[in-house]
Chains A and B, each alone.
Chain A
Amino acid sequence: MGRYLLRRLVQMVVVVVIITIFAFLLIHLLPGDPSVSILGPNDTPQNRAIVLEHLGLNKPLWQQYFIWLNQLLHGSLGQSYLTKEPVTHIVATSFPIDLELIIISQALAFAVAIPLALVTARRPNRALDRLATTGTFGLLALPPFVIAPLLVAVFAVGLHWFPATGYVPFTQAPATNLHDMLLPSLAITAGSIAIYYRLLRSDLIATLQEDFITMARSKGLTPRSIMVHHAFRPSTFSLLAAAGLNIGLLIAGTFVVEYLFAINGLGLALVNAVYQRDYLVVQGITVVVAVFFVVLNFLVDFLFTVIDPRVSRE
């Protein structure tokens, strides 16, 4: 077990390092540089050169990378070229927001998708199943940038039930926070519901044809008991794998929702940083996102061994 953990840890570190290298390269591939954001577009080349030298950006790329890496190992992610705000601070304020969005939206998604799948997998192709299938396809066909404005138009502007923008930290006012986060979460949840429902339903249908389900029936167990205690667990593989990927993608992918609801999440910070060529911010956020993704998938792999003891931990 210890060896396994160690090996996975090494793998994770390697993946994260590779990602940071690529991010580093990509961001420097972009035309332009921070001097445009700092000085404005109309300054002299000489001033730009001074700024760039001051920021250490005239050194060779590989050198810059190792300087950054060194900083990282000493616990610092650098600071924004524009605002001088420490990157760790930027991350620390925006990451929890995204995390909360993800938790709420995924909890909603599971709360809808799982029971729905459990019910419809028993009677495939019947009325409820057809309805659920079409309905979830409809959800897939409504991307966040379509749902969000619609939700705002109806519930915020129209009915005034929810605010259109704004964010109150959880620690400050939990109830308001949750209330305000509902619309943005709903915008995200739609796609997740569809994916999770389809995957779980498909696996459940396959599992229900296994022999051990017939045996469970022959013991006189009720259909509900069979679904929950026998059919569900072996059918969650695809669901978990997809959840791992989905959540990993969401952590920095909620840009559109953040933009439309004026929430200062990671996605928005990341995109802004890219546009402003705020290299260190981009690097820093990328590292955090990559680590999150890698750790998450490691957890998913671990969960596989818990669900199905036949999956070895090697």
Chain B
Amino acid sequence: MPDDRDVLGPETGPGLLGNTYVGEAAATEVAVSRSIDHHGPDEPLAEKKLGVLFWIAVGWVALVALAAIFANVLPLHSPTYEDFTAINARPSAQFLLGTDDNGRDLLSRLIFGARVSLVIGFVSVAVGLAIGGTLGLISGYRGGKLDSFLNAASFVVLAFPLIVALIAIISFWTPPTLFKITVILAAGTIPLFYRVVRATTLAFANRDFVIAARTLGATNRRIIFREILPNVVPAAISFALITVAIVIVLEGTLAFLGLSVSLPTPSWGNMIYQGTTNGDLTTNPYIMLWPALAMFLLLLAINIIGDRVRQRFDIREGLL
């Protein structure tokens, strides 16, 4: 709370309790914080907390993850059993989220579908970060021919129309399974991580503290691990979390193209596709609604987590 004044403003005002420096609207805030926190002018500032929203987000991600992992042992209907007596049923005691147009329980499809999204999202990003990030780190640090080549290559890869590549590769490597799609998407994120990590590494590799370490005789490996990596990791992690969101969305797009995990196996992407095309939104909006909502909340949570983590560790914003 104390760190929310205008960065540009020289706001001053008459003091409370001996000339306290207050902002335009912050006078009452200071008074309140004093009474609540009992901070006198000499007491240290409280550490910045991660915030309630952060923990809610963590909770949601954990909930989804746990549900997906333990889906098999949870008391759920089968996600693929088609109950023709209950087609397009509204949410009820029996089918907590309703059923789709083939009579399949939406709740269990949602939970089993979470597996696809989560695995694709986190695993492919983890792999892409590991490979692309390492390449970017080395490439950015050492420079030279390797760097020029990799940089040009990543540019070409990024310039290539994504859709064509995806369709071609997935069609070639049929049938699409969770594993294959994860691998393909992981490969797709490699040039992204390469570029981002490389850019961050470049920003640090020429700083004085690295040069200083080198003059002290540090080996390259030591410099990379002790000087550069700690500075690159926060940015890389927060970018990675955003990429998770992008990849999860990408899986949805693939589902639209019929290239994702195919029905009847559920994924949030193909459920949304199913919900918007097979039936009108008006006949059974729930088919699309639940996965869209779940995806929305999950992506939101991931982004919030990523942002708070970055805020915590980013020197520049940490000072504010």
Real complex partners, A and B?
yes
Residues of A near B298 (CB, < 8 A) are 141
B132-157: which have CB < 8 Å to A?
152, 155-156
Q: Is A271 a contact partner of B156 (Cβ separation < 8 A)?
A: no
Q: How far is the CA of A41 from the CA of B152 in the complex (A)?
A: 42
Q: In the complex, what's the smallest C-beta–C-beta distance from B21 to chain A, in angstroms?
A: 16
Q: Are B160 and A22 in contact (CB under 8 A)?
A: yes
A252 and B276 CA atoms in complex are apart in Å by: 22
**A145:B273 contact, CB within 8 angstroms:** yes
Give the chain B neighbours of A27 by CB distance below 8 A. Answer: 164, 168
Contact with A along B241-265 (1 / 0, CB 8 A): 0100100010011001100000000
Given the complex of chains A and B, what is the CA–CA distance between A259 and B253 in angstroms? 12
Contact B163 A145 (CB under 8 A): no
Residues B160 and A23 in contact, CB atoms below 8 Å apart: yes
Contact of A274 among B8, B168, B256, B297 (CB under 8 A): B168
Known A137-B307, A206-B316: A253·B163 in contact at CB below 8 Å? yes
Is B172's CB within 8 Å of the partner chain A?
yes
**Does A205 lie within 8 Å of B317, measured CB to CB?**
yes
Bound together, the chains give a CA A290 to CA B157 distance in angstroms of 11
Would B272 and A146 count as touching, CB distance under 8 A?
A: yes
Interface residues in A136-153 (C-beta closer than 8 Å to B): 137-138, 140-143, 145-146, 149-150, 152-153
Q: Is the CB of A125 within 8 A of B256?
A: no
B169 touches A26 (CB 8 A): yes
Q: Is the CB of A124 within 8 A of B320?
A: yes
Could you tell me which residues of chain B, from 254 to 312, have a CB within 8 Å of some CB in chain A?
256-257, 272-273, 275-276, 281-282, 285, 288, 292, 295-300, 303-304, 307
Once A206-B316, A217-B8 are accepted as A-B contacts, the answer to whether A149 and B164 lie under 8 Å apart by CB is no
Question: Is A261 positioned at the interface, with any CB of B under 8 Å from its CB?
Answer: no
Per-position binary interface string of chain B over residues 79-122, scored 1 when its CB falls under 8 Å from any chain A CB and 0 otherwise: 00000000000000000000000000000000000000000000
Least CB distance from A43 to B in Å reads 21
1/0 per residue, CB under 8 A from B, across A100-138: the answer is: 000000000000000000000111111100000110011
Q: Which B residues between 197 and 225 are near A, CB-CB below 8 angstroms?
A: none
**Which of A121, A124, A213, A274 is within 8 Å of B164, CB to CB?**
A274
Contact at B159–A15, with CB atoms within 8 Å? Answer: yes
With A140-B242, A205-B316: A146-B160 Cβ-Cβ less than 8 Å:
no
Whole-angstrom distance between the Cβ of B162 and the nearest chain A Cβ: 6
Contact check, A125 vs B320: say whether CB atoms are below 8 A apart.
yes
Q: How many A-B residue pairs have CB under 8 A?
A: 164
Q: Are A271 and B167 in contact (CB under 8 A)?
A: yes
Give the contacts of A20-39 with B (CB-CB under 8 A): 22-23, 26-27, 29-31
CA distance A141 to B319 in the complex (A): 29
Q: How far is the CB of A154 from chain B (nearest CB, A)?
A: 10
Confirm or deny: A267 has a beta carbon within 8 angstroms of a beta carbon on chain B.
yes
Binary contact track B220-240/A, C-beta < 8 Å → 1, others 0: 000000000000000000000
Q: Which A203-259 residues have a C-beta within 8 angstroms of B?
A: 205-206, 208-209, 213, 217, 223, 226-227, 245, 248-249, 252-253, 255-256, 259
From 21 to 54 in chain B, residues with beta carbon under 8 angstroms from any chain A beta carbon are 53
CB pairs A–B below 8 angstroms (18 shown): A23-B161, A30-B172, A31-B174, A124-B3, A124-B4, A133-B307, A137-B303, A143-B253, A143-B295, A145-B272, A146-B295, A153-B285, A202-B317, A205-B316, A253-B161, A267-B163, A275-B167, A297-B159
Q: A19-B159, A124-B320, A138-B296 are in contact. List 13 more A-B contacts (CB 8 A).
A: A19-B156, A26-B164, A29-B168, A29-B169, A30-B167, A30-B171, A140-B303, A205-B317, A209-B319, A217-B10, A253-B162, A255-B256, A260-B276
